[in-house]
Amino acid sequence: EPEVTQTPSHQVTQMGQEVILRCVPISNHLYFYWYRQILGQKVEFLVSFYNNEISEKSEIFDDQFSVERPDGSNFTLKIRSTKLEDSAMYFCASRWVQETQYFGPGTRLLVL
């Protein structure tokens, strides 16, 4: 069964460093999302992407964040200068035209 994959599964970085989180959505899907869960808090929406552009973003998704779908298969989230408070589990999700969003297993980011 097709699934969303994410790499790496864990990443440790120093504050101020750039990180790129990678996702391979399900191949015929059209809508792409990033969410995150800070430990002990709710899963929260970051950004949605459709037709090669951002369709919606949250207040969290400031100038330090960017997304890209460079080659029609990967979907990446870049954090330019990480802060301690960016430590979280980051989830990628994708969907086709029906409503269900399919999630990847997440990347656990730790900023020191």
Partner 1 sequence: ILNVEQSPQSLHVQEGDSTNFTCSFPSSNFYALHWYRWETAKSPEALFVMTLNGDEKKKGRISATLNTKEGYSYLYIKGSQPEDSATYLCAFSTGTASKLTFGTGTRLQVTL
81 sits near partner 1 (criterion: CB under 8 A): no
The DSSP bridge partners found for residue 6 are: 23
Q: Which of 8, 17, 50, 80 binds partner 1 (CB under 8 A)?
A: 50
Count of residues of this chain found to bind partner 1 when the rule CB under 8 A is applied: 26
- Least distance (Å) from partner 1 to the CB of residue 71? 23
**Shortest Cβ 47–partner 1 spacing (Å):** 9
